[in-house]
Chains A and B, each alone.
Chain A
Amino acid sequence: MRHRFSHGVHPQQNKELTVDLPIQRVPFVGRYVLPLDQHLGAPAQATVNVGERVRRGQRIARPGGFVSTALHSPVTGKVMAIEPRRAPGGKFSPSIEIHADPFATQRLTPNPPIDWLSLTLEEFIHHIQWAGIVGLGGAAFPSHVKYSMPEGKKIEYLLINGAECEPYLTNDHRLMLERPDALLQGIAIVKRKLGAKRAIIGIETNKPGAIDTLRAQIKRIHKVDVMPLPVKYPQGAERMLIKAVFGYELPATKLPRDIGIAVNNVSSLVAIADYFGSGLPLIERIITVSGSGVTYPANLIVPIGTPLREVLRFCGGLREATKSVIMGGPMMGQPIGSLDIPIVKGTSGILAFTEKEASTTFELPCIRCGRCLAACPHFLNPSRLGRLAKARRFDEMRAYRLTDCVECGACSYACPSEIPLVQLIRTAKRESHQR
């Protein structure tokens, strides 16, 4: 049975820039910056002091609460500073700066594989939290929280997000092509520990290679299905994915786990497989570097904390005409004002755009054409919300389901008058929250 989610948009994919490029490893650089709040929830708390020497993979910060996670050093080196540094959002966040030891081999201390079969669910969740594993799709929500179930509830289905609906990004696609075994191992671990009946991998049909590779590897005993999904943005949004795979419209007041579903990104599951296989905590991730402003686009394994400048240098630097640099995908990514900002756990890509793509907008009045309504996957009225936001009528916006907005940007994409709808809504959310 085939389902689909309603509304949504079809932006140009532009994935061909990097889709055939194998994942490469970026060499170690001199300086790493690790913000303590690079996951959702409470910031981590540093457990090292300035001047202390750290090993690669050593824990340098512990979870600051339940919805929080640990942080590990991406290199062997020395802690140079613990102070506020510019983080991806543009704000300053308390960060740990580590200088790599130029004489260290950076080889990981071999760890015996963890016997995950004998762990209880609580021990498993503890392991995930202290391994610093978060959702690598972009939100960086600590993974263990998704696995901790309220009393009496149980996960039936593990839903694996391989949609990668953001244009330009190919990191998840490459991962599914190059490490299907690790992905299936990660699925097996989580499925076993949560006691889920079945796992379903949702992949958009613009990744036929990934679909075929995984199908070839999956045996009946795995109880894993690959479900091809028609290409549409925002397929990777949790609720849209559940609708597309199960045909079920998750009530806005409920979480996926309330109906027995756990949604995980493919990279997060590979990170889990790597942790239980070799003891490697989350100290590196795969990103796509692409866009017209990048000299040599690439798919890269990058240690967390590497400054953008160094990653871009590895890719041949920025082209002269570059106008803007974005962290993440082009629909939901964050604009970057300084190349000193580090790669964090939630960074799925770096995009650099030249004049053509970064063209400044000429905003016209809303002519109420309704394209934003037809685009919004949550069936909201972005036109109305935008108007109310401009008038700063935040209380009325709540009545129009302001808080249901997932900020996917489909409305701004569709708007023919180039009104920055999602930005207006995002700002309104923040301001109405503060009051």
Chain B
Amino acid sequence: MKRSDPRLIVRPAPFLKSAMTTQQAMLDVLYALIPVIGVSLWCFGLGAILVLAATVIGALLTERLFSPASQRIPLRMDVSTLVTGLLLGVTLPPALPLWMAFVGGAAAIGLGKLVWGGLGQNLFNPALVGRAFLMAAFPTAMTTWTPYQGPEGLFTVYSSNLAVPLMNSAFDGVTAATPLALIKFQHETPPLYPLLMGNIPGSLGETSGLLILAGGVYLLLRQVIDWRILMGLLGSVAILSGSLYLLDSAHYPNPLTALLSGGLLFGAVFMATDPVTSPITPKGALFFGVGVGFLVVLIRGFGGYPEGVMYAILLMNAATPLIERITQPRAFGRGGDT
């Protein structure tokens, strides 16, 4: 090698890279969440945004404090943790005490991700682990819903939001039943239109079916989420709840209501499609989606809770390694369907 030659970097082929990066995929999820967050401000006021801020701070702080230094991603690039915090936040009741939201964010990252070995290693969806943790720790606060506020209540901060940690505080006078609770306990069918628009009681980002679907379409177009999971899930819920409705329309909601109510759409678009905790194989993804849908209908129809999306997804997360094992793709030229 002559002195005049440039210093050449030797690194392996290929030398071309597709434009999509993991950072970009995370950012896409963030963009898809923005309308959902916007609607929660509109429906439930500033208190909802404070809950989101508390989960995000809890998540980011836990990541900073407890992730091994060798794996730590610089804060400005750490969209993944931010997304986990936000995903947890939008599944919480708007009037949740902020300190609980903070603990939930910490649990999501700590128990949902870091103990497994960090990004990409966890078996369960971290945001849902955080939510399940809160559900077990604070069952009353997690199931106390506030009514739709509308633009007049834009700056509402619920007094329960500001509850002092570990002190039992009374909740605001006004509470409201979610559509799913109405179905389950009063056997009333809520009207469809509010389910689309979001002006109903519920978790702060799960109420507007329309905006969640818009986010889902964006993520599908960007190929960030797998259509097989989404379609498998929505399809199986539609078919199974449809069959139940046909059998007994007094007790069970019609399939459209079943699809639009509760956390189903949000769970289908943002939670079940988490690539880390769903099967990587195409067949497995479809299987996974159908499984989640089946469990949702089962829990909603026959379980003790009005809503079952969270546990359905967590249960299928646990089944993911097994699903993958039996759905490995058939290699090219290795028998099968040719």
Contacts and interface: CB of A to CB of B under 8 A. Distances in A.
Given A336-B10, A422-B12, A381 B280 contact: yes
A20 interface: no
B18 A414 contact: yes
B10 A324 contact: yes
Contacts, number: 169
Contacts of A367: 22, 25, 119-120, 275-276
A330 B18 CA distance: 13
Nearest to A237: B332
Nearest to A427: B12
Interface stretch (B1-9, B49-57, B148-156, B186-194): B1-9
B8 A368 contact: no
B11 interface: yes
Contacts of B338: 249
Given A318-B6, A383-B280, A9 B120 contact: no
A324 B15 contact: yes
Chain A contact residues: helix, strand, loop or mixed = loop
B16 interface: yes
Contacts of B173: none
Contacts of A334: 13
A239 B118 CA distance: 39
A135 B118 CA distance: 47
Interface string B14-49: 111110111111000000000000000000000000
A346 interface: no
B76 interface: no
Contacts of B276: 367-368
B16 A167 contact: yes
Given A364-B22, A416-B22, A418-B21, A380 B331 contact: yes
Contacts of A111: none
Interface stretch (A39-47, A63-71, A155-163, A370-378): A370-378
Interface string A126-168: 0000000000000000000000000000000000000000010
A379 interface: yes
Contacts of B6: 318, 320, 322-323
B175 interface: no
A416 B280 contact: no
B226 A417 contact: no
A374 B18 CA distance: 13
A104 interface: no
B159 interface: no
Interface in A225-255: 239, 249-254
Given A364-B119, A401-B331, A326 B15 contact: yes
A326 B119 CA distance: 34
A401 B10 contact: no
A417 B224 CA distance: 13
- Most chain A C-beta atoms within 10 Å of own C-beta, residue among B13, B17, B118, B120: B13
B281 interface: yes
Contacts of A332: 13-14
Contacts of B13: 326, 328, 330-335, 409, 412, 422
Contacts of B23: 364
Contacts of A178: none
A413 B275 contact: no
Contacts of B119: 364-365, 367
Given A333-B13, A371-B20, A325 B331 contact: no
Nearest to A11: B16
A423 interface: yes
Interface residues of A, number: 69
Nearest to A412: B14
Interface stretch (A50-58, A202-210, A350-358): A350-358
Given A324-B10, A367-B25, A379 B330 contact: yes
A30 interface: no
Nearest to B26: A367
A2 B224 CA distance: 30
Nearest to A337: B10
A250 B10 CA distance: 35
B15 A357 contact: yes
A418 B15 contact: no
B18 A416 contact: yes
B282 interface: yes
Contacts of B280: 368-370, 373, 381, 383-384
A293 B144 CA distance: 64
A12 B329 CA distance: 28
A366 interface: yes
A323 B5 contact: no
Contacts of A28: none
A324 B282 contact: no
A90 B13 CA distance: 14
Given A90-B10, A251-B333, A413 B328 contact: no
Given A324-B8, A332-B14, A409-B13, A338 B21 contact: no
Interface in B188-203: none
Contact of B275 (A369, A381, A414): A369
A181 interface: no
Contact of B15 (A9, A353, A364): A353
- Most chain B C-beta atoms within 10 Å of own C-beta, residue among A336, A364, A373: A364
Given A339-B1, A367-B119, A252 B334 contact: yes
21 contacts: A252-B331, A254-B333, A323-B8, A324-B10, A330-B15, A335-B12, A351-B15, A353-B15, A358-B15, A365-B118, A368-B278, A370-B280, A370-B281, A373-B281, A380-B329, A384-B280, A400-B328, A413-B18, A416-B25, A417-B22, A418-B21
Given A325-B8, A377-B332, 12 more contacts: A253-B333, A334-B13, A336-B8, A336-B10, A337-B10, A364-B73, A367-B119, A370-B282, A379-B332, A413-B14, A423-B12, A426-B12
Interface of A: 9, 11-12, 90, 167, 239, 249-254, 309, 318, 320, 322-326, 328, 330-340, 351, 353, 357-358, 360-361, 364-371, 373-374, 377-381, 383-384, 400-401, 404, 409, 412-414, 416-418, 420, 422-423, 426
